[in-house]
Amino acid sequence: MATKSSGGRAHLPGFFADLVRCETRLYNALNDRLRARHGIVTSQFEFLRCLRDHPGSRVADLASEFAIGIGAASKGIDRLEKQAWVTRRTNPSDRRSSLLDLTDDGLRLVEAAEVTFTETLAELTAGSLDGPTGLAAMQALSALRSALERDQVGLPAG
């Protein structure tokens, strides 16, 4: 677990380890709960939620949002389309790309799964993110994410 280095400075390798391990454990726990209750995994939920909030997105938009390759985003959408939760329609501005929309079943699924997702996340973080310390941690991570995205750090090659 992260500790302070000499001089009161943050121990960055420890911070990185804590950040990654927390993300992995939360992601896996959410995966298990979403799979058990809705038959989907966290990545599918994230795609569905993004498409609900941004109808008419392209695969490239999802790839950018999640900092993944276009191929990975396209395969994820293929799986959702196969389940009839997402549809593709020709992009009138660029016929080489498609615009993505949720089906009615996809919308119902993401709405139900969001309740499970939010309740599970609240349960898993209870006591750790309450109060001013938790708010400060959330604000710090948000600022870090904004800086990384602004500077286009960590985008997949190709």
For a pLDDT cut of 90, what percent of the chain falls above it?
85
Q: Rounded mean pLDDT of 145-152?
A: 94
Domain presence at residue 130: no
Q: Given phi > 0 = left and psi -120 to 50 = alpha, else beta, which region is 149?
A: alpha
Written as six digits, the tokens of 153 are 């750090």
- Residue 100 pLDDT > 70, yes or no? yes
| Domain range for 35 | 12-114
Q: Rounded mean pLDDT of 43-55?
A: 98
Domain presence at residue 97: yes
**C-beta atoms surrounding 135 within 10 Å:** 11
> Which segment of 80-84, 92-96, 121-125 scores lowest on mean pLDDT?
92-96
Q: H or E stretch including 33? A: helix 12-38
| Whether the Cβ atoms of residue 100 and residue 77 lie closer than 8 Å to each other | yes
What is the residue whose two structure tokens read 């960590």? 154
Domain presence at residue 103: yes
pLDDT value, residue 6: 58
Residue 62: partners with Cβ closer than 8 Å, 6 or more residues away:
47, 50, 51, 68, 73, 76, 77, 100
Q: What's at 50, amino acid-wise? A: C
Domain presence at residue 50: yes
Domain presence at residue 142: no
Domain presence at residue 51: yes
Tally of structural domains, the chain: 1
Domain presence at residue 63: yes
CATH of the domain at 75: 1.10.10.10
Domain presence at residue 152: no
Residue 50: partners with Cβ closer than 8 Å, 6 or more residues away:
57, 62, 65, 66
